Amino acid sequence: MDWRTKLLDPKPYARRDYTSLATPVFRGSTVVFEDQAAVTDDWRQAQNGYSYGLYGTPTALELAARIAHIDGGRETFIVPGGQAAIALIYLSYCTAGSHALVPYSAYGPNKAMAEGLMRGLNVDVQPYDPLIGADISDLIRENTTLIWCESPGSVTMEIQDVPAIVRIAHAKNVAVALDNTYSAGVMFDAFAHGVDVSMQALTKYVGGHSDLLLGAVSARDNAAFAKLGPIYKQLGLAVSPDDCSLALRGLQTLAVRLDALERATLEIARWLVAHPLVDEVFHPALPSCPGHDIWQRDFQGSTSVFSFTFNATVSAKQVTQFVDALKIFKIGLSWGGVNSLAVVYPNLERPDRDFAGRIVRLNIGLENPSDLIKDLSLAMPST
């Protein structure tokens, strides 16, 4: 064999019986088959064997299996990000002429997809009041195929009565999808509450260190799996095994991080409640959060994201100056990492309310909460 050929020989020479506590990072696009008869292009690799890296190497399938196990679902698809997870669900459950419902408190890019891509495909996505509960019945049409829930909602933090919505939806044969990112898939048990498809941005708590982008879509049962699978294959939602490896590592410390984040976040939320310039604090564990009683009924705990409003003595300009004056809190989107973040939503639109640039969202990180409170305190406007 020429040395050039030797360089390309894929045959393993080292022993392969290495057992460690870490999941190996398997890279690879091509899968080598035993013989021609074994060649397939089957995305159901967990059942039928490996066929192509696009449908996940063993690293991605390990992550998928672990998330499915935690969620208690039939199967999980790992996708390039939370937004890709949202796209997979829309495109699996809606076709031209479908009607879908999305809470007006949903993650902004979800609503952007509803009004952009989905509208262009002749799918009518209608916003609804997140606190609607069983009255969702009035909005379901003959052609409704999907109801989104997101609880708590993005920025305004409304807790939804998911079981009530599921009850009505299932009576009318409509599927319910949940964006379960706030709960890291664990603080709210999506499938125990009847949801058909649960997704989360692994970018947030599972990644946990602001250094990767991934999403997960979990199917409750065979029906949801059969809807999602073919579209997952057609979209070619490839993920990096390196990112999956980081997410697998993140799972190992998710519980201790969530415990610490919950404690610190509550301490800071309660400090804000007592501050004379603060009007409302939208933290699920506080009675001032819309739907707090439902949170108490349905959730195992709270996490690190919440919002608050300044009272009317504080101008929108002072709110911006407050955020700019923070030193430990960084200004940024996304959340779930180790650093505390703050951001103003100057143009937040809700049908029933104008926040007039006075709503700030915080993500609490793993810094000492006393330092964070000092940071907030020093940045507060002087009135």
Task: List interacting residues with ligand PLP (CB under 6 A).
Answer: 81-83, 107, 150, 154, 179, 181, 201, 203-204, 213, 215, 334
Instruction: State the nearest-atom distance from the C-beta of 207 to ligand PLP, in Å.
Output: 9
Cβ–Cβ contacts within 10 Å for residue 107, how many?
Answer: 22
**Which is closer to ligand PLP, CB of 179 or CB of 298?**
179
Q: How far is the CB of 110 from ligand PLP (least distance, A)?
A: 7
Q: What radius of gyration do the chain's Cα atoms show?
A: 23
Question: Which residue is associated with the tokens 């690879």?
Answer: 28
- Residue 179 or 375: the one with the smaller Cβ distance to ligand PLP is 179
Name the closest residue to ligand PLP (Cβ): 82
CB nearer to ligand PLP: give 109 or 229: 109
Least distance to ligand PLP, CB of residue 242, Å: 16
- Least Å distance, CB 335 to ligand PLP, is 7
Q: Which is nearer to ligand PLP, 154 or 160 (CB)?
A: 154
d(CA 258, CA 274) in angstroms, rounded, equals: 24
- Nearest approach in angstroms of CB 36 to ligand PLP is 40
Q: Name residue 146's beta-bridge partners.
A: 100, 175
Least CB distance from residue 215 to ligand PLP, whole Å? 5
- Residue 19 CB contacts under 8 Å (≥ 6 apart), including other chains: none
Residue 109 CB, nearest distance to ligand PLP (Å)?
Answer: 7
Residue 177 or 201 with smaller CB distance to ligand PLP: 201
Between 217 and 269, CB nearer to ligand PLP: 217
How is 180-226 classified by DSSP, letter by letter?
-TTTTTTSB-TTTTT-SEEEEETTTTTT-SS----EEEEESSHHHHH
Considering the complex, state which of residue 168 and residue 228 has its C-beta at the smaller distance from ligand PLP.
228
Adjacency order of strands within the sheet including 175-179:
75-79, 215-219, 197-201, 175-179, 144-150, 99-103, 124-128
3 state DSSP class of 280 = strand
Q: How far is the CB of 191 from ligand PLP (least distance, A)?
A: 18
Nearer to ligand PLP among residue 278 and residue 289 (C-beta):
289
- DSSP E strand boundaries for the chain: 75-79, 99-103, 124-128, 144-150, 175-179, 197-201, 215-219, 278-282, 305-310, 330-331, 341-344, 349-350, 353-354, 359-363
Q: Please, how many CA atoms are within 13 Å of residue 234, restricted to the half-sphere of its CB?
A: 9
Burial of residue 277 (CB within 10 Å: 0-12, 13-18, 19+) is: middle
